[in-house]
Structure 1
Amino acid sequence: MQIGALVPAALTLVCKRGRVVCAGIPMSDIPIFAYADLWEERQILSVANLTREDGTSFFEVAARSGLRAVTETFPLEQANVALDRLRKGTLTGAAVVISPQADAASGNHG
């Protein structure tokens, strides 16, 4: 299967107001698909590749602007809870799943 063919398939799986994001991969053309698959404000987005310098500049601007990320962390064993909350739309911000190794390395033991 060509990569572009995955886009319409993914579009049928996202929730209302969901997005299919195409990022950082070589892609074939996206085949024709039914307009109904975009219904309920679904979107197809592409993300341009950027350099490390672009990323660094973005974070500098974000820091000056007062932009703050909102996250909620979950231990790895609660990953399914995070997914359920994501599907239900009950998360505020982004879910971050922490592996036991990362948790131990951070010194967070509680």
Structure 2
Amino acid sequence: MSDIPAFPYALLWEERQLVSVANLTRQDGLDFLGLAPRIGIRTRTTAYPLRDANRALADLRAGRFDGAAVLVP
């Protein structure tokens, strides 16, 4: 009998987690938001009702939009 191949545990249960990186100050954020439009940064978002979170995830996986998905409660 052959060994069972190894794979990441998260794939087994489709577990997901939300992660935030907070390594800047409030003033850093304000400075960046003031600078962003002047240097050409444009954001692209696609809004989904919260009840369509699974569709948003499927669209993200399939590459159906550019930018970020936003869930609206």
Q: TM-score, normalised by structure 1?
A: 0.46
Q: Which residue does 2:55 correspond to in 1?
A: 81
Secondary structure in structure 2 of the residue aligned to 1:23: coil
Q: Distance in 2 between matches of 1:23 and 1:68?
A: 21
Q: Structure 1: which 5+ runs fail to align?
A: 1-8, 14-20, 25-48, 100-110
Post-superposition, which runs of at least 4 consecutive aligned residues in structure 1 deviate over 6 A? none
What do the CA deviations read for 1:28-59 (whole angstroms, capped 9, x no partner)? xxxxxxxxxxxxxxxxxxxxx10000011111
Q: Which residue does 2:38 correspond to in 1?
A: 64
Q: Distance in 1 between matches of 2:20 and 2:67?
A: 21
Q: Larger strand proportion, structure 1 or 2?
A: 1
Count of paired positions: 59
- The answer to whether the aligner puts 1:51 opposite 2:49 as a matched pair is no
Per chain length, whose mean CA-contact separation is higher, i.e. which structure has more relative contact order (CA < 8 Å, sep 6+)? 2
Written as runs of structure 1 = structure 2, the 5 A alignment for 1:1-110 is 23-24=21-22, 49-99=23-73
Percent of pairs with identical residues: 46
